[in-house]
Structure 1
Amino acid sequence: MGIYSEVILPRLCDLSMRNERLRAYRERVIGAAEGRVLEIGSGSGLNLPFYSPMVREILALEPDPNLLAMARRAPPVDAPLNFIEASAERIPLDDSSVDTVVTTWTLCTIPEAAEALTEMRRVLRPQGKLLFVEHGLSPDRGVRWWQDTLTPIWRRISGGCHLNRPIQSMIEKAGFGIERIETGYMRGPKPMTFMYEGSARPR
């Protein structure tokens, strides 16, 4: 699941995800997690400081062993923290076993994102929630043209990142009902900075 970039937000470079412009997104999305939490594509652990006392356990799923090694060296958090080296398309957890799933700038790079979202729904409890902030397909025709044009090349140089994934419809097609969503451009090149932030529950 790869690497982030400051400009594009998927993970082209883990250091760039320390960009302070992303802090408010992290505070809102991560801060809303509660109970037993599964974080998809946890990377080097940049989200860990934003979890609230409402979280009783964090399961940090990441397929890249190098990023996991970095995360293990991160400062300790209050909740019990367990690292899982696995892909989001094959989550090694029981059905209905987590209260919250968190995904931050990750759906753009997962090779089989639809399959991963189905897995997220499977492991969520019936009253659980999916919290997300992602970049993806713009509603503006001119921007979409650039996203479609750039994505084949961009994928090859940015760890598999897709600029043009329709995040909301992907989540809904996986069996979630959108509970809250906010969209809009973050500062930066428009093909790379149209944001989707919100929450959803299993239908």
Structure 2
Amino acid sequence: MAASFAMANLWEKYAVPKLIRVACSQPAVMKDRSQIVPKASGEVLELGCGGGINLEFYDRSRVSKLTGLDPSVELLDYTRSEASARGFDMDILDGIGEAMPFADASFDTVLTTFTLCSVQDGPKVLSEMRRVLKPGGKILFLEHGKAPDKGPEKWQQRIEPIWKHIAGGCHLHRPVMDLFEANGFALTETDGHYAPKTPRWLGWMESGEARPI
């Protein structure tokens, strides 16, 4: 038992950050990122900033301040390296979405990309997003989630129990847009599509803008 626990910890610490970096920077994913990230403006919080993959897509002329939050120390090391290499002045913090270390009404934009799949408590994270948004603020999201077609959706249910253990707690079957709407957000500029050259059980992408009602 102790040996299994130790192996799991080693996998989480060393393998998962590399797996996430590779999986989340595939060409199709980067194209989707390039369409959502530049919409961030004002004082921006990137929830799940680990890896620093989004940094190349920000429109710096629109961002007055960038803050990043992520629970993975290893992924945050990548973020700091990317920010330094790009000359990006960024506040980078270790923390979770369910308990953000920020005052109320701190940000104009909250950006989340491929993060809501792995949080422990989705409604609590959305409640925290609402709390830290300034009046009139927006959430920009790009996530993979529950496929709309029965075939891929069945495979998601079958694979998810194993997938969560090898992919840092990532859920394949979360209905992202439904989660926002069920927790008091209005959605605009939404898009849903299967990523090309990706298994359909893994490749359903949802993106858009959410504002508190």
TM-score normalised by structure 2 residue count: 0.86
2:23 aligned partner? 16
* One of 183, 188, 211 as aligned partner of 1:201: 211
Partner SS, residue 164 of structure 1: coil
Q: Larger deviation: 167-176 or 84-93? A: 167-176
CA separation in 2, counterparts of 1:77 and 1:27?
19
CA separation in 2, counterparts of 1:77 and 1:195?
30
Question: Which one-letter code corresponds to 1:92 in the other structure?
Answer: P
Q: Shift of residue 118 of structure 1?
A: 1.1
Q: Shift of residue 23 of structure 1?
A: 2.0
Residue pairs, 1:136-151, within 5 angstroms: 136-151=145-160
1:60 aligned partner? 68
Q: Where do 5+ consecutive residues of structure 1 fail to align?
A: none
Runs of 4+ off more than 2 Å: 10-13, 15-18
Q: Larger deviation: 65-74 or 34-43? A: 65-74
Q: Where do 5+ consecutive residues of structure 2 fail to align?
A: 1-11
Partner SS, residue 14 of structure 1: helix
CA contact (8 A) 1:11 1:106 kept: no
C-alpha RMSD over aligned residues: 2.0
TM-score normalised by structure 1 residue count: 0.90
Q: Percent identity?
A: 38
Q: Deviations over 1:59-99 (max 9, x none)?
A: 01011111112211122345x41001100111111111100
Q: Flag the structure with higher helix content.
A: 2
Residue pairs, 1:105-120, within 5 angstroms: 105-120=114-129
